[in-house]
Structure 1
Amino acid sequence: MSAAPLRITPELLRRAYAAGVFPMGDSTRREEVLWFDPPARGILPLESFHIPARLAKTLKQGGYEVRLDHDFRAVMEACARPDTWITGPIIEAYVALHREGGAHSLEIWREGRLTGGLYGVSLGAAFFGESMFSRETDASKIALVHLVARLRAGGFHLLDTQFVTDHLARFGAAEIPRAEYQRRLAAALRRKGEFRQFAADSDPSAVLHSATQTS
């Protein structure tokens, strides 16, 4: 981990992620950015993604709209709760990367309101999930299912979650050693994922079929 006052450009972000390093803002020194390369890395295996039965039922019921990159900044700001690592410099850096097509948001809307979503970085056939939020029950989980369906349809090989939380563990997330992560990252970067390949965002049954088997 190290601190840096320099401006974070899209190119710097791409180089960092390609090297297995990611930034986080300092909640106490708001203009500083910390860089991390942890000894164990959280990933969510795309081939064994698990959807809990209750969530599968919610997906089938529908009543929501999934939007891609509709309001990237709003998703980041919703994720940036007080005293979080998503500081002003972090938001501006990822918004700039988003404008260049390197960062994406997957958003859940209901009756014209943004109710949940997530954002992350796309590089090669790797997607680096950064943060998610919910304003309604299961909204971020619905976004995660749609993300996995999109990544699988687009030929992605790695979904990096950085760390493993109890929330992510329910979907099959696990930690792997740094060396194994670097091996998987290198393999994913040699390929090209198509983030916009999946076009069935409004069809929950298609999402379930594309993402995984439920249990």
Structure 2
Amino acid sequence: MGQIAWLGPHNPFPNPLIETDPDPSVPGLIAVSERIYPGQLARAYQSGIFPWYSENQPVLWWSPDPRMVLKPSAFKCSDSLRKMIRLFCQNTNSQIAVDADFGAVIRSCATSNRKDQDGTWITHEIMDAYADLHERGNAHSIAVIEDGQMTGGLYCVAFGGMVFGESMFSRKTNASKIALAALSAWCLQNEISMIDCQQETAHLLSLGVAPITRQAFLEQLQISLN
């Protein structure tokens, strides 16, 4: 059994292709740090690593195997969702807002009630770190607006030809699905070949998300960054 790296402000991340799962009892956990240091989040994503932890925990850095991804052209749109999107588009008081209010979207993701989940992993530290990425042009938000109210949305990270989906919220049935459909369309327009969805859920599987190996994901990431 190896030792999980404890990172200081200037330590590089382990290479997930070489130092995979240092502790097999915690598969996918690559490294730990006391906090998210300046510049660390950008380096993590470009290495295929993301943070996921709770308050009162150190920052846990992950690179799971397999990795759940969505090819934008493979987004599954059921007949009922297609009908809802059509009605949404016909409503002149509805709109999809990209990067209109990143802070409001991430706060909504943080405060949304989720089934079988107590609390949120989107801490104030997380919100500040992703807001910094947004200011640098590497984090984006999509909001679903209906009659002046934000009914759903998501935020994501983008480097090269890869988008990393982070969190969604929905205040109305299927609003988060509309947001993901909008993200898929945005990716197609911007020639982005893959959306990283990180973890497997029944909700994501129903929308076309599928697993690939960590190695395949990391190889595709490096191609997208060049």
TM-score (norm 1): 0.83
1:88-115 CA distance string (max 9 Å, x none): 1111100111111110000011121111
Please tell me whether residue 55 in structure 1 is matched to residue 81 in structure 2: yes
The equivalent of 1:202 in structure 2 is none
The equivalent of 2:140 in structure 1 is 104
TM-superposed deviation, 1:188: 1.5
The equivalent of 1:95 in structure 2 is 131
Q: Distance in 1 between matches of 2:34 and 2:102?
A: 24
The equivalent of 1:73 in structure 2 is 103
> Based on CA coordinates, which of the two structures has the bigger radius of gyration?
2
Structure ranking higher in helix proportion: 1
Q: Which has the higher contact order (CA 8 A, sep 6+)?
A: 1
Q: Distance in 2 between matches of 1:46 and 1:15?
A: 24
Structure 1: runs of 5 or more not aligned: 191-215
Aligned Cα RMSD in Å? 1.4
Q: Distance in 1 between matches of 2:71 and 2:218?
A: 15
The equivalences for 1:114-125 within 5 A come to 114-125=150-161
Q: Distance in 1 between matches of 2:138 and 2:37?
A: 14
1:68-88 CA distance string (max 9 Å, x none): 111111111111145221111
Structure 2: runs of 5 or more not aligned: 1-28, 112-117
The equivalent of 1:14 in structure 2 is 42
The amino acid across from 2:41 in the alignment is L
- Alignment size in residue pairs: 187
TM-score (norm 2): 0.79
TM-superposed deviation, 1:66: 0.7
Q: Return the match for 2:63 from 8, 26, 37.
A: 37
The equivalences for 1:126-205 within 5 A come to 126-190=162-226
Q: Distance in 2 between matches of 1:8 and 1:92?
A: 11
TM-superposed deviation, 1:46: 2.0
TM-superposed deviation, 1:56: 0.4
Q: Distance in 2 between matches of 1:24 and 1:80?
A: 13
TM-superposed deviation, 1:47: 2.8
The amino acid across from 2:52 in the alignment is M
Any runs of at least 4 consecutive aligned residues in structure 1 with deviations exceeding 4 A, and if so which? none
Sequence identity percentage: 39
Please tell me whether residue 83 in structure 1 is matched to residue 119 in structure 2: yes
CA contact 1:25–1:89 (8 Å) conserved in 2: no
Q: Distance in 2 between matches of 1:53 and 1:7?
A: 42
TM-superposed deviation, 1:35: 0.6
The equivalent of 2:72 in structure 1 is 46
TM-superposed deviation, 1:175: 1.1
Q: Distance in 2 between matches of 1:158 and 1:8?
A: 27
TM-superposed deviation, 1:12: 1.7
Q: Distance in 1 between matches of 2:36 and 2:200?
A: 29
Q: Distance in 2 between matches of 1:7 and 1:35?
A: 10
TM-superposed deviation, 1:8: 3.3
TM-superposed deviation, 1:148: 0.3
TM-superposed deviation, 1:157: 1.3
The amino acid across from 1:8 in the alignment is Y
TM-superposed deviation, 1:164: 1.9
